[in-house]
Amino acid sequence: MDRGVLLIVCGPSGVGKTSLGQRLLSANEELTLSVSYTTRPRRGQEVDGQAYHFVDEERFKEMRDREAFAEWAEVHGNFYGTPTAAIEEAWRDGLDVLFDIDYQGAKQLKDRYPEATAVLVTPPDMKTLASRLRGRGTDSEEVIQARLAKARHELAQYELFDFIVENGEFERAVQVMQSIYTAARHARHVRAEWLEELLS
């Protein structure tokens, strides 16, 4: 099975990683989103199977125990996991895969797929991140302070990542993300089979 690009995008809650990922997906038809399984409750108008596959904790642990996940993590008291089958299906279809996951999951994916490209999205500063979190209007101040503390811990894991993208000016961050993805599509492990055919 030919292996396409695995593009991992991580960052603290409120940093804008999901918005950046959506822009990449809309601009690159060969890129598909890995839909994680989660035990967290649905929010607003979320549809099962689009942003996430929503399951209960018993189902999640059953999948985990039979090693159905390429990575999994517990984040803010909820479980999240990437199904291995979804990656393999995307590759069979000739697609690259985008992951919007926690740094714990990023580490597991990099351990399993060392050729994966991992990007850490950061805020320009912590004050801006706090403002974005409050601007959502969905969390209490106590929850926001917990998320900010978690953000500092997440950002401190920067050595896990291949690239760091500051999301201060959104359109500029989109351009940088697109450049990283384009470069990843020309990495040696992606192009090697094509080059071997050329040489033969």
pLDDT digits (tens, 9 = 90+) for 72-86: 988 878 999 999 999
Q: What is the pLDDT of residue 176?
A: 98
Close Cβ partners of 196 (under 8 Å, ≥ 6 residues apart): none
Q: What is the pLDDT of residue 123?
A: 95
* Domain residue ranges of the chain, discontinuous segments joined by +: 6-199
Residue-wise pLDDT for 144-194, tens only, equals: 999 899 999 999 999 999 999 999 999 999 999 999 999 999 998 888 888
Q: What is the pLDDT of residue 127?
A: 93
Task: Please say whether the beta carbons of 7 and 99 come within 8 A.
Answer: yes
Residue-wise pLDDT for 107-135, tens only, equals: 999 999 999 999 999 999 999 999 988 98
Whether residue 32 has pLDDT greater than 70: yes
pTM: 0.88
Close Cβ partners of 14 (under 8 Å, ≥ 6 residues apart): 123, 129, 132, 133, 136, 147, 151
Angle (nearest 5°) at CA 73 between 69 and 77: 135
Q: How many C-beta neighbours within 10 Å does residue 24 have?
A: 19
Residue among 85, 76, 87, 81 nearest 60 (CA): 81
Alpha carbon separation from 23 to 32, 122, 135 (Å, rounded): 12, 17, 21
Class of domain 6-199: alpha beta
Q: What is the pLDDT of residue 193?
A: 82
Query: Token pair of 185, please?
Result: 């599509």
Q: What is the pLDDT of residue 2?
A: 67
Residue among 50, 56, 91 nearest 70 (CA): 91
Q: How far apart (Å, rounded) are the C-alpha atoms in residues 178 and 7? A: 11
By percentage, how much of the chain surpasses pLDDT 70? Answer: 99
Q: What are phi and psi of 31, to 5 degrees?
A: -110, 130
Q: What are phi and psi of 171, to 5 degrees?
A: -65, -35
